[in-house]
A and B are shown apart, each in its own frame.
Chain A
Amino acid sequence: AQSVTQLGSHVSVSEGALVLLRCNYSSSVPPYLFWYVQYPNQGLQLLLKYTTGATLVKGINGFEAEFKKSETSFHLTKPSAHMSDAAEYFCAVSPMNRDDKIIFGKGTRLHILP
């Protein structure tokens, strides 16, 4: 079975500071890993995903995430936060090469301080 744990339901960073949103997963088979973002009053939008290949994945708006199998982690980072990054971020996992559903974490709300 798959599961996702996102550390911190709320994270606050200053504008221009590093953004780090933590995600750890549990999967009995190799996983696909995703980050989705939800801006206020909008739906969920795919930010980036890891399927196979390079473990450092780049997404939209300057975000990236690194798949670390040894740590079962897929943390999301951005070097310099912008006010427009304020949103809710969801990490998700799905088993590779199987038609199973995506399992989402509880989400982390990112607040950007001026």
Chain B
Amino acid sequence: EPEVTQTPSHQVTQMGQEVILRCVPISNHLYFYWYRQILGQKVEFLVSFYNNEISEKSEIFDDQFSVERPDGSNFTLKIRSTKLEDSAMYFCASSAKRENTGELFFGEGSRLTVL
């Protein structure tokens, strides 16, 4: 069964360092998303991506964040200069349809710990 895969499963980094989280969406999907979940809090939308550009982003997704689909298969989230408050579980998701219908397929998540 096709699935969304994410790497790394866990990354520990020093504050101020750059981090890249990688995702391989399901191959025939066209819409891609990043969500995050800070420990004990709700799953929060970060950004959606379609047709090689950002279609929507939340207020969390500031200039420190960027997304890219460099090679037609990977979908990456970059955090340029990590802060302590970036520590969270980051989920990638993909969909064949726009997100509104709920047909999202999520990866297992990448846990980021910023020290």
Shortest C-beta distance, A6 to chain B (Å), equals 9
The 8 A CB mask of B4-43 against A (1 = contact, 0 = none) is 1010000000000000000000000000000100001111
Cα A45 to Cα B41 with chains together (Å): 18
Q: How many angstroms from the CA of A98 to the CA of B99 in the assembled complex? A: 10
Q: State how many residues of chain A have any CB contact under 8 Å with chain B.
A: 29
Bound-state Cα–Cα, A43 to B108, Å:
4
- Measured between beta carbons, the chain A residues less than 8 angstroms from B35 are 104
CB atoms of B100 and A95 under 8 A apart? yes
- In the assembled complex, the Cα of A92 lies from the Cα of B4 at a distance in Å of 20
Chain A CB within 8 A of B82 CB: no
Taking A101-B48, A101-B56 as contacts, is the C-beta distance between A44 and B101 under 8 angstroms? no
29 chain-A/chain-B pairs, Cβ below 8 angstroms: A32-B100, A34-B102, A41-B108, A42-B108, A43-B4, A43-B105, A44-B43, A44-B91, A44-B104, A45-B106, A46-B104, A49-B101, A51-B101, A90-B43, A94-B99, A94-B100, A96-B100, A98-B100, A99-B98, A101-B45, A101-B99, A102-B45, A102-B102, A102-B104, A103-B45, A104-B42, A104-B43, A106-B40, A107-B43
